[in-house]
Amino acid sequence: MAEPLILVVDDEQAITDLIEIHLLSEGYRVRKAASGAEALRIVREEHPDLVILDIMMPGMDGLEVCREIRRERNVPILMLSAKSEDVDKILGLKIGADDYLTKPFNPLELMARVKAQLRRYLTLNPASARQPDVITVGGVEIDRAGRSVTKDGREVDLTPTEFEILLLLASHPGRVFSSEEIFERVWKERYFQSNNTVMVHIRRLREKVEDDPSHPTLIKTVWGAGYKIEN
């Protein structure tokens, strides 16, 4: 099962960067958004397991974003705000937020609240921890249940192993997988250092899903580390 995905929404990059550092140190996957519209797109496409949402944002504020999320999903929402008045806290909780933290906040307290909300959510809603049935990245659509892949609406013929590699990378956007980790997860065997099997399969996979396999934009090589797919 993939690590929980947490969406951090704030128009102040210093805040999102600080929260991201602490979340990554706890092993969570992180997506960041600087606007309400971007946050809603990520919620609909990537189905995060928890949303940390600032109230005071230009354009669509956090309260409006919270209302929109609640119309579609019951994902935990932790509100952040520089306001400390009880009326603001009550309003945030009334429209659907699960918790509320006032800026400036102690990162350790934020992490404790994140863990508590995730524990409650994933325990009471185990189905919510599933990856989406269909993942879309760069014009490539991966149907987990149907075990099929399409690119720009046309079916792509992949071997079972190629499908598993693509699914593994796409299910963890931004995460770098080493050749050893890919091999052991897909083949379920021990990896030997001289084994170039993964490299060969990545090359064949790129030939099928990349516009220009010699200059890949979907399956990226992180030199000295492995491979990743960015959303």
With cut-offs at 50, 70 and 90, classify the pLDDT of residue 121.
confident
Alpha carbon of 221 to those of 93, 179, 215: distances in Å?
44, 11, 10
3-class secondary-structure state, position 142: strand
In this structure, of 75-84, 110-119, 139-148, the range with the lowest mean pLDDT score is 75-84
61-94 pLDDT, tens digit per residue, is 888 999 899 887 888 999 998 766 666 666 767 7
Q: Nearest-5° angle of CA 220, CA 225, CA 227?
A: 25
Residue 196 has pLDDT above 70, yes or no: yes
Helix ranges restricted to H, the chain? 13-25, 36-46, 62-72, 86-94, 107-124, 160-170, 179-186, 197-209
CA dihedral 125, 131, 137, 143 (to 10 degrees): -120
Residue 194 has pLDDT above 80, yes or no: no
d(CA 205, CA 164): 11
145-193 pLDDT, tens digit per residue, is 788 999 998 999 999 899 999 999 998 888 889 998 898 888 877 777 6
Q: Using CB atoms within 10 A of its CB, is residue 160 exposed (0-12), middle (13-18) or buried (19+)?
A: exposed
Mean pLDDT, rounded, of the chain: 87
* Locus of tokens 């005071």: 56
Q: At what angle do helices 179-186 and 160-170 cross, to 10 degrees?
A: 120
Mean pLDDT of 13-37: 93
With cut-offs at 50, 70 and 90, classify the pLDDT of residue 2.
low
Give pTM, 2 decimals. Answer: 0.55
Judge contact between 178 and 230, C-beta under 8 A. Answer: no
Residue 130 has pLDDT above 60, yes or no: no
What percent of the chain shows pLDDT beyond 90? 48
With cut-offs at 50, 70 and 90, classify the pLDDT of residue 95.
confident
Nearest to 208 by CA among 142, 144, 162: 162
Contacts of 12 (CB under 8 A, 6+ apart): 54
Write the DSSP symbol of residue 129.
Answer: G
Domains of the chain with CATH codes: 5-129 (3.40.50.2300), 134-229 (1.10.10.10)
Q: What is the pLDDT of residue 145?
A: 78
